[in-house]
Amino acid sequence: MRADMLSSILSELNGTSADIEASGVISTDGLMMAAELPASMDEDRVGAMSAAMLSLGDRTAQELARGTLEQVLIKGENGYVVMTHAGPEAVVTVIAKPNAKLGLIFLDIKRAAESIASLI
């Protein structure tokens, strides 16, 4: 039941922008809780990498006195990966196209993360 609700939130998130290619909800220990990924992406790998990057981002923010981590943004020539906390137990990972309008995507991710945090 909860997995269906998480999948519904991700499906809505992916539908809000044509620039969003994939999304997932991952526990802070790397377990994929729900995903809207293309078949070419391995859920376990996305989950593990997201947890690792989030952990590194948390530590970096603390060590450099930047406060509580809000978001990790990775930009590559083929697009973006954005990770945002969804409560203390989960992270939302979004994969977006290179020409994505990040401001709108950040807003959509924030709304989705708030909905997910209320479920978990």
Does the structure show a pLDDT above 90 at 120? no
Q: pLDDT tens digit string along 89-111?
A: 899 999 999 999 999 999 999 99
Q: What distance in Å separates the CA atoms of residue 82 and residue 38, rounded to the nearest whole number?
A: 17
pLDDT at 1: 64
Q: What distance in Å separates the CA atoms of residue 105 and residue 112, rounded to the nearest whole number?
A: 10
**With bands split at pLDDT 50, 70 and 90, how would you rate the model's confidence at 28?**
confident
Q: How far separated are the first and last CA of the chain, in Å rounded?
A: 12
pLDDT at 12: 93
CATH architecture of 2-119: 2-Layer Sandwich (3.30)
- What are the respective helix, strand and coil percentages of the chain, to the nearest 5? 45, 30, 30
**With bands split at pLDDT 50, 70 and 90, how would you rate the model's confidence at 4?**
confident
Q: pLDDT tens digit string along 33-92?
A: 999 998 889 999 999 999 899 889 999 999 999 998 889 999 999 999 999 999 888 999
pTM: 0.90
pLDDT at 33: 93
Domain ranges of the chain: 2-119
Q: 3-class SS at 82?
A: strand
